Amino acid sequence: YNERLQRTEKMKVVSDLAASVAHEVRNPMQVTRGFLQFLARRTGQDHQDHFDLAIQELDRASGIINDFLSLAKPEPDETVPLSLNEELRRVEAMMSPFAALHGGTIEVYAPGLLRIRGNASMLTQALINIVKNSIEATRDRAGLIRIEAFAEGGEAVVMIADNGIGMNEAQLSRLGEPFFSTKADGTGLGLMATYRLIEAMQGSLEFRSVKDEGAEARIRLPLLERADSSFPAASPVAAEA
């Protein structure tokens, strides 16, 4: 509990900072990027590598700013009834090319219709952050990322399991901490944003892992009550399941 409290305080500090800084920093970076591209064209081949590197580093900085921005906006603008199944299919479609690039595959198994209340872009962002980590953890290992969804005690459960490098206890306990990353090019902000996004939708996120064998994320989100008639009744039979 104490650990959780500490994490919440740290997140508040970072998100306050994020809101004010992120927008201000993004514009000059975009301008700089434009000038670098312009100069690269003018200079010809001589310093191409240096320009490429400079632009790459700028893009990495942009990535950090983007992660910050998703931290700065933890409250959903609007929550609507969502089909979790549809969202999972979307994430599968979006992330499969990235998985394939690293020699991995994504499998989705979600047989029953699961309806939740949430914000599609927040949910997508949270899922992408987790799946991206799984793909990165299975690099060079014929990765299999299995996404499974089912209902359990009034909640929708989404499990994202991989056969990647896994984590030890010390690493597990630091998940969600700002700037905790074991990657050379990591920001260490992805999971922090993810915890915030899921908690903003009244959900929870837990991780389990065995070092060198893989990791499993488990998201729980409140299922939409059946009485909620605002959900478009796609298939009443499936909805009863």
Positions touching ligand ADP (CB under 6 A) are 129, 133-134, 137, 162, 164-167, 171, 175, 180-183, 186-192, 215
Helices (H), the chain: 2-43, 48-72, 84-101, 120-137, 169-173, 190-200, 236-240
Exposure string of 102-122, with b = 16+ CB inside 10 Å and e = fewer, is: eebebebebeebbbbbbbbeb
By a kind-dependent CB cut-off of 5 to 8 A, residue 143 interacts, out of ligand ADP, Mg ion, none, with: none
Residue burial 23-52, b: 16+ Cβ < 10 Å; e: rest: eeebeeeeeebeebeeebeeeeeeeeeebe
Q: How far is the CB of 213 from ligand ADP (least distance, A)?
A: 10
Q: Is residue 110 left, alpha or beta, with left meaning phi > 0 and alpha meaning psi from -120 to 50?
A: beta
Closer Cβ to Mg ion, 164 or 190, answer by number: 190
Of residues 17 and 31, the one with the C-beta less far from ligand ADP: 17
Residue whose CB is nearest to Mg ion in the complex, by number: 190
Distances (CA, A) of 191 to 164, 169, 228: 17, 17, 31
Nearer to Mg ion, 20 or 182 (CB): 182
**Minimum CB distance to ligand ADP, residue 104 (Å):** 12
Of the residues 190, 192, 198, 215, which one makes contact with Mg ion according to CB under 5 A: 190
| Residue 174: CB minimum distance to Mg ion, A | 13
Task: List the single partner that 203 binds among ligand ADP, Mg ion, none, CB under 5 to 8 Å by kind.
Answer: none
Nearest Cα to 174, choosing from 122, 149, 209?
209
User: Taking CB within 5 to 8 Å according to partner kind, which of Mg ion, ligand ADP, none is near residue 119?
Assistant: none
Number of residues this chain uses to bind Mg ion (CB under 5 A)? 2
Q: How far is the CB of 41 from ligand ADP (least distance, A)?
A: 32
**Interaction site with Mg ion (CB under 5 A):** 133, 190
